[in-house]
Amino acid sequence: MQISSRFTIAVHALAYIDLFESQMRVTSAVLAQSIRVNPVIIRGVLSDLKAAGIVDARKGSGGTWLVRPLSAVTLYDVFAAVDPVGGASGSELFHFHENPAPQCVVGGNIHTALDDKLQAAQDAMEEQLRAVTLDTVVADLVGAARSRGQEVPEVGSAAA
């Protein structure tokens, strides 16, 4: 099982925006330097976050900013915004192979034996993601950075 890196890229971007939007214009190029991916990928992720009402942006080098406080954004909100998997898109986390042989003892019964278990696993993961707001992620990030002796701006988004 693998969820695309767009999810963690989005969380990284939101944390960066929260910490630095009051000090600088946070552009896709700036985020790309921190996340170490192509700015085109960043722009796609930011576009999804904008569509979800989490950020806003000005085209060109106008920058990106939060429109909702991170205390009102859960990991699930981010996951649903940027990953094609998840409840918001109606997709399933576990993709079943297309054509199990219906006449086979295993192939004909694998869905019956496995579907509810996989759905329960997806439901549990989504519940955990809904329980965590991004302000707690940023607080943990700030704590980790400070414990390493790194200087960190004051926590708290302008959207708060």
pLDDT tens for 10-48 read 999 999 999 999 999 999 999 999 999 999 999 999 999
6-147 is classed in which CATH architecture? Orthogonal Bundle (1.10)
Average pLDDT over residues 88-109: 80
Percent of the chain scoring above 70 in pLDDT: 90
Whole-angstrom Cα distance, residue 100 to residue 64? 47
Q: What is the mean pLDDT of residues 135-160?
A: 84
Domain ranges of the chain: 6-147
How far is Cα 89 from Cα 70, in angstroms, rounded to an integer?
22
At residue 58, does pLDDT exceed 90?
A: no
SS3 39: helix
Split at pLDDT 50, 70, 90, the class of 77 is: very high
List, for residues 112-144, the tens digit of each pLDDT value: 999 899 889 989 999 999 999 999 999 999 999
Supply the DSSP string of 100-133, one letter for each residue: --TTSTTTTTHHHHHHHHHHHHHHHHHHHHHT-B
Averaged pLDDT of the chain: 89
